[in-house]
Amino acid sequence: MYDKDTSMLERLLSMFQTVQDEGHGSVLLVFVTGMIFGSIIQYAKVHKFEKIAGFAMLKDTVVPKMLFLAIGLASIGLYFMIELGWASYHVKPILLGGLIIGGIIFGASMAIFGKCPGTGPVSVAEGRIDIMVGAIGGIFGGLVFTLFYDKFKLLMGSSLGNPTLVTYFEANSATAVLLFGIVLIAISIAIPLLEEIDEDDVGYQK
Amino acid sequence: MIKKIPWWAGGIAMSLLLLFSFSLLGADRPIGASTYVPYFAGIIFDLDPEKYTYLKEIHNAGSWEGVMLLGVLFGAFLNAMFITKTFRFTIVPAAWKRYKNNSVASRLLWSFVSGFFLIIGARLAGGCTSGHFLSGMTQTAISSMIFGGVVMVTLVVTGKLFYKDSKNV
């Protein structure tokens, strides 16, 4: 199927075809989902270095407040949507080595970079040159991971299944998820609001 | 024109977008944002997707996220140019100057290195802030709670060790 002469452009175009054929939304829907996703991040300012590195320094709490509120609300909504057959679970497996080693590497990098893979592109689109350089680093990270996937796989370990709270609280799953959601919403409200500001940001001024 | 929304509005909007994406009306899948990186690396370095197991595994997810990423870039660029007016070329973030240093070389070097490891970490864990934190914990997935806990702790420990408190300088 792969032709050595396939150009980069042809491969990029085949990306759209793959999405169109896959049945997880049309190309337009996925593109617009990305636009909205990026815009929410951008207007809430959670892509800013001041917000993410600021959270790492415990000087800004917008990221955890927004994150916990979003998860708390969505977890309750999704549970009932799945019960009604409007959505289904897509749970990632427990690969302990991967989650712990990957989580440590990810957390440390996020504190220093002040971005994660979802927020970085928003900053690139705003002209942040340091993040463009970091994105090139990320592309090399992706290359190394692809080339040495067999070795990385050994670190990741074998799957311990992909349970959720619903798996463990079968009979009382609604109560368990409701409680989970409410606790997260309560945490998001309870965390005191701290803000670290980029004073050069025109849009930031209150 | 609105240039900034408070954290609670952002949280509510994000929860609605997550639910829409999960729903049959939306994409019937979670939002993720780190698989596109090795996917694009495969294209840029012209790696044969038939030869590399990983590229084969991520072919569909990488394509989906690739299109989503283009939407993120396009939307954020339009916003930055015309609404939030936050488009400008900068190298060293304001808080980096406050709590680390004023060096362009230092920031760029650390950006490259942390960008590299950010992707290694995300791919080892099988997800990032979007795929694990937002989408995974929304499903009350145990794997995502483990990832979330480890990331939170490491993030704050690194923040304490890596940056200096400006008040003590």
pLDDT in tens, B24-66: 999 999 999 999 999 999 999 999 989 999 999 999 999 999 9
Residue A69, helix vs strand vs coil: helix
Q: Which of residues 33-52 of B touch A (CB under 8 A)?
A: 33-34, 36-50, 52
- B111 in contact with chain A, both atoms CB, cutoff 8 A: yes
Residue ranges of alpha helices (H) inside chain A are 8-22, 27-44, 49-56, 62-83, 96-113, 120-125, 129-147, 149-156, 165-168, 173-190
Structure tokens at B72: 């993120």
CB atoms B73 and A121 under 8 Å? yes
CA A114 to chain centroid, in Å, comes to 14
Per DSSP, A120 falls in state H
- φ/ψ (deg, to 5) at A82: -70, -40
Residue among B8, B72, B121 minimizing CB distance to A38: B72
Does the pLDDT value for residue A5 go beyond 80? no
Q: What is the ipTM of this complex?
A: 0.96
Residues of A in contact with B66 (CB under 8 A): 15
CB atoms A204 and B126 under 8 Å? no
Look at the alpha carbons of B114, A119, B155, B151 in this order and tell me if their dihedral is positive or negative. Answer: negative
- B154 in contact with chain A, both atoms CB, cutoff 8 A: yes
- A118 in contact with chain B, both atoms CB, cutoff 8 A: yes
| Contacts (Cβ under 8 Å, ≥6 apart) of A94 | A159, A160, A161, A162, A163, B142, B143, B146
To the nearest whole Å, the CA of B169 is away from the closest chain A CA by 15
B23 bridge partner residues: none
Per DSSP, A202 falls in state G
pLDDT, residue B138, reads 98
To the nearest whole Å, the CA of A171 is away from the closest chain B CA by 16
pTM: predicted TM-score of the whole model, two decimal places: 0.95
Query: Do residues B113 and B98 touch, judged by C-beta distance below 8 A?
Result: no
CB atoms B72 and A121 under 8 Å? yes
- Range A166-185 average pLDDT: 95
pLDDT in tens, B77-114: 999 999 999 999 999 999 999 999 999 999 999 999 99
Residue among A37, A128, A131 minimizing CB distance to B72: A37
- B10 in contact with chain A, both atoms CB, cutoff 8 A: yes
Total residue length of chain A: 206
Q: Which of B116, B134, B146 to mutate to test the interface with A (most CBs of A within 10 A)?
A: B116
